[in-house]
Amino acid sequence: MTSPTMRTMTLCAPGGIPMVREGDDLCRIILQAIQDGGDCLQDGDVLVLAQKIVSKAEGRTVPLASVVASPRAVELAEQVNKDPRLVELVLAESASVLRHRRDVLIVEHRLGFVMANAGIDMSNVQQQATEDTALLLPLDPDKSCATLREELRLACGVDVGVIINDSHGRAWRNGTVGVAIGVAGLPALDDRRGMPDLFGRPLKVTEVGLADELASAASVLMGQADEACPVVLIRGLATPRRSGTARELIRPKQLDLFR
């Protein structure tokens, strides 16, 4: 009788990540934090970054005082009980409004994600003394991941995956979970169709949202409040590598029974 082998995958959150500001070099910041923790990147590692530090580095902050609300935003803001200027930003970042009621505004983001408030948030964002500041999603999260991955390769000669993580609600369950809005260097969607199950029966419909699963696992370490752990290093991922993007995870509208 053969002994069972134990499969392991480790997650760690390097400390010492400073408050990120516009123009900061995330590659340098991440490598320094990992080095200060007594480690270094290895081939096959996956880095999961909180969306907020990417957006901050890319200058995606908008003072609400600079926003002029349109008549449509004013009307919708009254229905959802939100600042009209925030609603104007949501509309500008969205392809369409899908659902709304008091305190809830669900949209199709311009990137294709179905999400609340177009991912615009003011938590964990440095606010000004006299005006509120909102933070938008990165312009192109997949591109941001691919750029950082290449910078890491040039800096230390390793082939790693990169995921940008954001917190999303779900249609059927309470609570937010981490999901991938940007991916590079690994499959976002792991297609298992045709593979045998334990009894040799081929899988027919199984597609695993791998990048979402990794983002959700990383969220446990990242936290949602004052944990200050915006980067998580995942090591030991056994899935075969290929290039992928977060666009793989977006269900086409014609296949979406709820739209």
Instruction: Name the β-bridge partners of 178.
Output: 167
pTM, whole model, 2 decimals? 0.92
Considering the domain boundaries, does residue 203 fall inside one?
yes
Q: Report the Cα 169 to chain-centroid distance in Å.
A: 13
Final residue belonging to a domain, choices 80, 101, 135: 135
Name residue 120's amino acid. I
**∠ at Cα 32 (30, 37), nearest 5°?**
100
pLDDT value for 1: 45
Q: How far apart are CA 73 and CA 54, in angstroms?
A: 27
Residue written as token pair 């169709």: 193
Residues 207 and 248 in one domain: yes
Span of 34-48, 92-106, 114-128 with lowest mean pLDDT? 114-128
Residues 217 and 238 in one domain: yes
Q: pLDDT tens digits for 131-158?
A: 789 999 999 999 999 999 999 999 999 9
Considering the domain boundaries, does residue 4 fall inside one?
no
Domain that holds residue 42: 10-59+138-255
Host H or E run for residue 33:
helix 26-36
Residues 198 and 240 in one domain: yes
Considering the domain boundaries, does residue 2 fall inside one?
no
Mean pLDDT, the chain, whole residue set: 90
Final residue belonging to a domain, choices 112, 135, 158: 135
Secondary structure tally for the chain: helices H, strands E: 6, 12
Q: How far apart are CA 198 and CA 56, in angstroms?
A: 46
Q: Count the domains in the chain.
A: 2
CATH of the domain at 66: 3.90.1660.10
CATH of the domain at 182: 3.30.1330.100
Residues 109 and 164 in one domain: no
* 8-state DSSP, 212: H
Q: pLDDT tens digits for 220-237?
A: 999 776 667 899 999 999
Q: How far apart are CA 160 and CA 210, in angstroms?
A: 15
Residues 251 and 187 in one domain: yes
Residues 143 and 216 in one domain: yes
Alpha helix locations (H) across 113-193?
A: 141-156
